[in-house]
Amino acid sequence: MNMALAFCMGTDIAGIVSNPIGQPVATRGVLVFLSFAISTQFFNGASILIVSPRLVFTFSRDGVPPFSSVRYKLHSRTRTPMRGAWACAGTALLLGLLALEGPTASIAGLYMSWFIPVTSRSLEGKEWVPGAFSLVRWGRPVAVIAVAWMSFAIVVFAFPSTPDSTVSNMNYTAVVLSGWIAMCLVCYHFPVYGGVHWSSRPRSNINGVSSARIVRGAGQKR
């Protein structure tokens, strides 16, 4: 979408910036296409809010984040991790308050959430057992290309919107991202209580039952 705008907007930058409604993109017929983009972002946020509480629930099962004993509980009626959903929504709301300081926004955090596991997997020295689907020998080249692109994108999204940035229009991506990574590292390497001292691997809540038997049993019930 951004590439299409860049190629089609023309050279009258002053006319574009001085749009009467203050939104150069949202003019005339473009509103129709922009509505699809807005709807897509809404459903994207909804899907993230469905997946992220389950991740919080899983990490809380392993005792990784703070207050794990509180988050590792399912709703009595829906049997869903509602406490994890509220935790994710509350954290996102606090981070979203930074938008009140200016119009800048970034998806660098999303790229970082992919960058860390892909890099860790590629640099890991231990033997790795592939799952049902694996790129085999193509895995490393794909990982290198992905990490190179995400590194470039994270740097681009961290740039300020104007050379002379102020408090109101500053891009806070570098501040928030660095603070979040620092907090995670402190929690993991904290003396005595940090995860580095006790965390070994994800815990299994399935005892004595193989995944093949579970799949066959589910198929028979259906």
Provide the pLDDT for residue 99: 63
Look up residue 11 and give its two tokens.
């050279």
Provide the pLDDT for residue 162: 75
Provide the pLDDT for residue 218: 42
Backbone angles phi, psi at 103, to 5 degrees: -85, -5
pLDDT band per the 50, 70, 90 thresholds, residue 212: very low
Counted residue by residue, the chain has a size of 222
Provide the pLDDT for residue 70: 81
Q: Which residue has the higher pLDDT, 218 or 205?
A: 205
Whole-angstrom distance, CA of residue 157 vs CA of residue 111: 10
Look up residue 72 and give its two tokens.
């590792």
- Do residues 85 and 120 lie in contact, with contact meaning Cβ atoms separated by under 8 Å? no
Whole-angstrom distance, CA of residue 55 vs CA of residue 90: 15
* pLDDT tens-place string over residues 45-76: 888 888 889 888 888 887 777 777 788 888 88
Look up residue 89 and give its two tokens.
């929504």
Provide the pLDDT for residue 200: 62
* pLDDT tens-place string over residues 36-46: 888 998 998 88
DSSP code at position 197: G
* pLDDT tens-place string over residues 12-24: 888 877 877 777 7
Whole-angstrom distance, CA of residue 38 vs CA of residue 52: 21
Say what the pTM is. 0.57
Whole-angstrom distance, CA of residue 205 vs CA of residue 60: 13
For the chain, the structural domain boundaries read: 1-101, 103-126+134-189
3-state secondary structure string across 46-92: HHHHHHHHHHHHHHHHCCCCCCHHHHCCCCCCCCCCHHHHHHHHHHH
Overall average pLDDT of the 152-179 stretch: 79
Does residue 222 register a pLDDT over 70? no
